[in-house]
Structure 1
Amino acid sequence: MIFDLHIHTTYSDGLFTPEQVIDLAISKGLNGIAITDHDTVLGIEPAIEYSKKTRGLKIIPGIEFGCIYKDEEVHILGYFIDYKAESIINMTKQLRKDRVNRGIKMIQKINDLGMELTLKEVKKLSKKDYIGRPHIARALINRQYVTNMEEAFNKFLNRGMPAYVEKDTLGLREAINLIHKSNGIAILAHPGLLKNKNIIYDCIKNGIDGLEVIHSKHKREDFEFLFGISKGYGLIITGGSDCHGHIIHGDYLMGKYYINICDIPIMKGRI
């Protein structure tokens, strides 16, 4: 059973609704996907309900928490979480509120740089009460201040750039514990992108269950390095495209990076 375990929807910074994501997954021949929006679980229920009306695509309820740890962004994926648990609902509600406040500050910084950008036009590009840097980047593109997402981030929105604002996040251990408390499986997302690879071992010490070994931005050497660590420490090996709905090299990423869920007994059992 082929699963893409890293998918974003319009409920965070993806371009596709949960329904559109499912349609694309079916067209790619996938048996299942994990909905892993940033700091929110609001896209899970629509995905599950829509999947019942289609050809039985299996949906794993998930989330992706961002943490700041040792001056780096560290992302923790949670799979099979109880997305209706009070602890998850309360925390994600606060995180979404913090994201909106952060977005307002970043928009103000952009205006301070002599450009014009409003909260209203950024919100038009987002879903409900969620604002992420990609929404601000798309607004900058619409205003023709930049030509693409990469330029927007490199010039203004990345850490150290003039419009960047640090976000309020969960602590590393806090994120892992919250996932475990909601009966979930905690996985370190795209660890090959970390500059400080010692953070991987810190995550292991803090109870991470596995590593996202297969990822659209991992190089061959990343895969081999992470595969070795996973085997050495008895960690779960997962994989996913991290699809946000963009066309890259003529196609969507979804379905190009995946795992066979049958190779992960603890996950197959929950399916």
Structure 2
Amino acid sequence: MSNIARFPLYDLHCHTRASDGLLSPQAVVQRAVDMRVGVLAITDHDCVTGVSAAQQAAIDQNLPVNVIAGVEFSTVWENHEIHIVGLNIDIHHPVMTGFLAAQHDCRQTRAEHIAERLEKAQIPGALAGATRLAEGGVITRGHFARFLIEQGRADNFAQVFKSYLARGKTGYVPPQWCTIEQAVDAIHHSGGCAVLAHPGRYGLSAKWLKRLVAHFREIGGDAMEVAQCQQAPNERTQLAQYARENDLAASQGSDFHQPCPWIELGRKLWLPAGVEPVWERFPELAPVFECAER
């Protein structure tokens, strides 16, 4: 039995070209193997079209990685955009497919409104450009950012969001996403585990972050991400405490989108002592989360 089989490295949050990642599902799976990830969740934004291709790639190439069917939903809570990850979902369940269709419609409408705002700011062709860059996948603000960089409007993502796509800027359109409750309900109906994604990235004060975590637990949330590649000092310890206080399982994920020096599949993913890993909290998920002998 290999070390990966006995001690799999879990990365339960990553993106492919199906949403705003730069790599194909097949390339993401191969990169996960290269980074010694043994259990990988494909969690594209409001879509699951990359899941089957990723799982099939692992099977066809006999790769030492288990690929989990997942998704990352955008929701709105107290005027903040909050992301909820679903793990081990049935991507064909009618509740899930219907919910995904509604989220897709919201994204398409928002994309059209972003393009209209940019058009008024003398930046034409934004919708066509973002659509081209999405390559048939879900259109996100990331695709608009790449288009604006192509047009020479900024040098990098940080600049383009600060100047055009962040709240209050020219191309910003307030999201009309679903509620956290609706996302959790869809995940549960499809047999999945609902995880509060990257809680430390919402710019919330400690008081409001505690409220968010408590609300998530109250409406039936199962786990929260505690470990990411990049975190502020002591953030991992603080999030672990919130997980324990609210009886939430702990998850970990890189939120990988593309190869870069700071965020990489499997990098710095470990859970502090005293938390219960999500793959241990739910025995029914064990056959999926348990990396088989090879």
TM range (shorter): over 0.9
1:1-271 maps to which residues of 2 (within 5 A)?
A: 1-54=8-61, 55-194=63-202, 195=204, 196-197=208-209, 198-249=211-262, 252-259=263-270, 263=277, 264-265=279-280, 266=282, 267-271=285-289
Q: Could you say what secondary structure the match of 2:234 adopts?
A: helix
Q: Could you say what secondary structure the match of 2:76 adopts?
A: strand
Asked if structure 2 preserves the Cα contact closer than 8 Å seen for 1:41 and 1:83, the reply is yes
Q: 1:129 to 1:22 in 2, by over 3 A?
A: closer
Q: Which residues of structure 2 form unaligned runs of 5+?
A: 1-7, 290-294
1:111 deviates by: 1.6
C-alpha distance in 1, partners of 2:145/2:264?
A: 20
**Counterpart code for 2:24:** T
Q: Could you say what secondary structure the match of 2:12 adopts?
A: strand
C-alpha distance in 1, partners of 2:126/2:84?
A: 31
Q: Which residues of structure 1 form unaligned runs of 5+?
A: none
Q: In angstroms, what is the RMSD of aligned CA positions?
A: 1.7
C-alpha distance in 2, partners of 1:56/1:158?
A: 40
1:29 deviates by: 1.0
C-alpha distance in 1, partners of 2:109/2:79?
A: 21
1:101 deviates by: 1.9
Q: How many residues align?
A: 268
- Report percent identity of matched pairs: 26
1:90 deviates by: 1.6
Q: Could you say what secondary structure the match of 2:30 adopts?
A: helix
TM-score by length of 2: 0.86
Higher strand share: 1
1:24 deviates by: 0.5
C-alpha distance in 1, partners of 2:259/2:117?
A: 27
TM-score by length of 1: 0.93
1:10 deviates by: 0.6
Render the CA deviation track for 1:112-164: whole Å, top value 9, x for unaligned. Answer: 11223332222111031521000000000000011111111111111222211
C-alpha distance in 2, partners of 1:47/1:227?
A: 30
Q: Could you say what secondary structure the match of 1:220 adopts?
A: coil
**Counterpart code for 1:106:** I
1:269 deviates by: 4.2
Q: 1:48 to 1:206 in 2, by over 3 A?
A: same
**Counterpart code for 1:169:** W
Q: Could you say what secondary structure the match of 1:24 adopts?
A: helix
